Structure 1
Amino acid sequence: MASWEWRRPVTNLVVLAEVAQEHGADRNEILRGTGIDPAVFAEPEGEVTAAQELAVVRNLVTRFDDRPGLGIEAGLRTRLTMHGVYSLALMSSPRLLEALGVVTRYSALTTSFGRMWPQVEGDEYSVFVDDTDVPSDLRAFLLERDMAAALTNWLLVMGAKPPLVRLEFAGGLSSRMAAIFESVDVPLIDRADPHQLVLNLAELDAPMPLASPLTAAQFDKECAELLERRGLHKGVAGSVREVLMRQMNGRVSQEEVAALLNLSLRTMRRRLAEEGTSYRQLSSETYGSLAEDLLSTGLTVEDVAYRMGYSGAPAFSNAFKQWRGISPGRFAREAATQSHRSTVHR
């Protein structure tokens, strides 16, 4: 069973929301129950977990009864440049062969949820795609999206049809893929898992239009670093922290936070428990740390109370005692003493 706690770019969700809206469903419908704060749509570098993106896909697929072609619409809207440094690594590759290496190494930086690997046999270059970990009810949509995006962007970058020999799809999905590749005139074959995309090896020696070997190496390194960073999961706990920090108000209720994340209160509590934490613990950690940072700058207790949205120092002091077990005044004095000692000993 795959873990879906690695992070994904919010641009994938923007496209899904556009497709949903075009068919009469608003963004709130496809975000329902996902734990995603809609504010992330306005963040150029916004990310969600893979699990959250799959939840959005499930809402979309369920809303439209897994309509054939819906994934194709999403794929046609997905431009290579939406994938940031991945697109630069691919387009600056010296030859098509190296570009396909970028595709198989860093597929997790794109729309794909499948594992990819290449294989050379005789005069054929194959890309295998294993998406068996993907929930079965989402598999057709996701494969449509990936294949439509791959073909569309190949044509845009290369200006010519890909040197495909044949396409072999598992799970009885060849018929769903036929509409994507009808203009390419390539055989589509049913097979057992995994999927296999077969290209003519001799034609992969062609240079990329924007080839730059030196910069390609740099972008490849950055792709590897990005892949590693996105592997750190954030989950619902991270989303709750982000909401708390934006609210800047220690009195925000659990119900308000759950509503902002498109979750029921019960679901939010359950998801936090599964991640080994609770709303109370997150609130204490988040606001306690923020209050400590403000107090350490020399602000008075009254000033910090005002900045954090409290009506006065007494209400803030009571909250701080719950977070940290001491009064904010005492914390400020101890912080000032420690800072003075550090200065003296330098």
Structure 2
Amino acid sequence: MRDRWSLPRSTASAAILVELAGEYGVPAGPLLAHTGIELDHLADPEGEIKAGQELILVQELVARLGHVRALGLAAGTRYHASTHGVWGWAVISSPTARRALEVGVRYSELSFSFADFRLDDVDGNVHLILDDSETPAEVRDFLMERDLAAIVTIARDLLGVNLPVKELHLASSDRGYGDRFEQLCAATPIFDADRTSLVLAGEVLDLPLPQSNPQTALLCERQCAEVLQRRHARLGLAGQVRDLLVRRAEITDQDDVAREVGVSVRTLQRQLADEGTSFRELAGEVNCLLAEELLGAGLAVEDVAHRLGYATASSLTHAYRRWRGITPGQYARAVRAGR
């Protein structure tokens, strides 16, 4: 099981799956028996389980109801932006659908998906690519359907209309209900594709969203980063590296970190890659959070850049814009306006 499947997540998704199973006559008790999830825990709005526990729940669900046509699509339509907590609010308050996609993909580990996502710009269109190659084969189709239906449902929450899907590619065979995909996405599915992807009209994605709120978006993105950092901090070598970078200001490069954790730089790079990250990505995450703490405390961008070891304020601005899509000054003004 991948490290990310050890990450905590809200019980909201598990509750949806248990409710869905109940509608088909499958009681909660047997469904949860091997998951380690207590039924009462699902009613706790603050409740958390591990992603791996939900995966076992999905396996139990599919084992009992895999014969139901389009079960994953039926499940996914129950996942709204509000289901996802702060991740959903960060998405829904974004200025444009393009930015919402970028935020959603960046913090996708806070969603309920087990897949990896990537955005590619091709000829003016945006390809949202879903990589589910590491999910168990027996539940892959269910989870793919659930993810696609959830994406479309959240997009309707954002836009008030259907997502502008130009093409739908599915890395699975036609199971006899292609019309259900077409109803969902308003695009004829192309089965047996090399990868699962949605091709979206780029010009539509740049229109302003009706619920856009710059201050809320900024604060929710920061909360997403903080939640993700707290969850990862408990896991693997990446957790050790994050902890070192936060606690030890004098540690700034891979050589220092490798010495502290007792491995070579090459081993550090390889193990971080195995955990789906890199030293540069971890350092960027930590620097972004530290910059926001200092900016929130009232420090000027130049002072923050100096404290974090950037040669110039413009270097910090470039790095921060790459991570958040705005400048440090814009973030500081939004924080002040929200007080």
TM score, norm. by length of structure 2 = 0.64
For this pair of structures, how many residues does the alignment match?
234
Q: Name the residue aligned to 2:2.
A: 2
Q: Do structure 1's residue 169 and structure 2's residue 175 form an aligned pair? A: no
Q: What is the CA-CA distance between 1:147 and the residue it aligns to? A: 1.4
Q: Which residue of 2 aligns with 1:139?
A: 140
Deviations 1:180-236 (A, max 9, x none): 3325431321354431211111111110111122321221111112122233569xx
Matches of 2:182 and 2:224, distance apart in 1: 29
Question: Deviation of residue 101 (structure 1)?
Answer: 0.6
Change (3 A) 1:23 1:232: farther
After the TM superposition, which residues 151-170 of structure 1 pair with which residues of structure 2 at under 5 Å, given as runs? 151-170=152-171
1:7-18 alignment runs, 5 A limit: 7-18=8-19
Per the alignment, residue 54 of structure 1 pairs with 55
Q: Alignment partner of 2:6: what SS?
A: coil
Matched, 1:34 2:35: yes
The 3-state SS of whatever aligns with 1:93 is coil
| Residue identity opposite 1:179 in structure 2 | R
CA RMSD of aligned residues (A): 2.0
Cα distance in structure 2, aligned partners of 1:159 and 1:198:
19
Q: 2:208, 2:8 → 1: CA distance?
A: 32
- 1:173 Cα deviation after fit: 5.7
Query: Is 2:196 the counterpart of 1:186?
Result: no
CA deviation string 1:132-163 (max 9, x = no partner): 10000001111111111221232233121211
SS of the equivalent of 2:190 reads: strand
Counterpart amino acid of residue 44 in structure 2: E
Q: TM-score w.r.t. structure 1 length?
A: 0.63
Residues 72-111 of structure 1: pairs in structure 2 closer than 5 A: 72-111=73-112
3-state DSSP of counterpart to 1:182: helix
Q: One-letter code of the match for 1:13?
A: A
CA distance in 2, matches of 1:27, 1:171: 30
**Letter matched to residue 198 of structure 1:** V
**Corresponding residue for residue 119 of structure 2:** 118
Whether contact under 8 Å (2:152, 2:184) holds in the other structure is no
Give the drift of 1:45. Answer: 1.3
Give the greater-gyration-radius structure (CA): 1
Contact 1:96 1:205 in 2 (8 A): yes
Distance 1:68 1:207, change over 3 A: same
Quick check: 1:49–1:233 contact (8 Å CA) kept in 2?
Answer: no
Contact 1:7 1:232 in 2 (8 A): no
**In structure 1, distance between residues paired with 2:174 and 2:110:** 24
| Secondary structure in structure 2 of the residue aligned to 1:137 | helix
Q: 1:134 is matched by which residue type in structure 2?
A: T
Q: Distance in 2 between matches of 1:157 and 1:67?
A: 29
Letter in 1 for 2:52: A
**Equivalents in 1 of 2:139, 2:165: separation in Å?**
26
Deviation, structure 1 residue 80: 1.4
Residues 129, 232 of structure 1: alpha-carbon distance in 2 compared, 3 angstrom cutoff: same
Give the whole-Å Cα distance in 2 for the aligned partners of 1:66 and 1:227. 36
1:293-321 superposed Cα distances (whole Å, 9 cap, x missing partner): xxxxxxxxxxxxxxxxxxxxxxxxxxxxx
Which secondary structure state, in structure 1, belongs to the residue aligned with residue 95 of structure 2?
coil
**Worse overlay, 76-85 or 55-64:** 76-85
Residue 119 (structure 1) shift: 0.8
After superposition, residues 1-346 of structure 1 pair within 5 angstroms as 2-3=2-3, 4-172=5-173, 178-182=179-183, 184-231=185-232
* Matches of 1:212 and 1:185, distance apart in 2: 29
What is the CA–CA distance in structure 1 between the aligned matches of 2:145 and 2:159, rounded to whole Å? Answer: 21
What letter is aligned with 2:29? Answer: N
Residue aligned with 1:8, SS: strand
Contact conserved, 1:174 with 1:188, CA < 8 A, in 2? no
Measure the CA separation in 1 of the matches of 2:37 and 2:104. Answer: 28
SS at match of 2:2: coil
Can you list the C-alpha shifts for 1:15-61, whole angstroms capped at 9, x where unaligned? 01101111111111110111223332132111111111010011111
CA gap 1:171/1:200 in 2 versus in 1, 3 angstroms: same
The residue number in structure 1 matching 2:239 is none
Q: Which amino acid aligns with 2:188?
A: P
* CA shift digits 1:245-269 (9 cap, x unpaired): xxxxxxxxxxxxxxxxxxxxxxxxx
% identical aligned pairs: 35
Letter aligned with residue 2 of structure 1: R
Q: Check the 8 A contact 1:92/1:213 in 2, yes or no.
A: yes
State the distance in 2 between where 1:173 and 1:50 align.
29
Query: What residue number does 2:312 align with?
Result: none
The whole-number CA distance in structure 1 between the counterparts of 2:36 and 2:127 is: 38
Q: Following the alignment from structure 1 to structure 2, what is the Cα–Cα distance between the partners of residues 232 and 46?
A: 19
Paired letter, 1:109: L
d(CA) in 2 for partners of 1:72, 1:15: 13
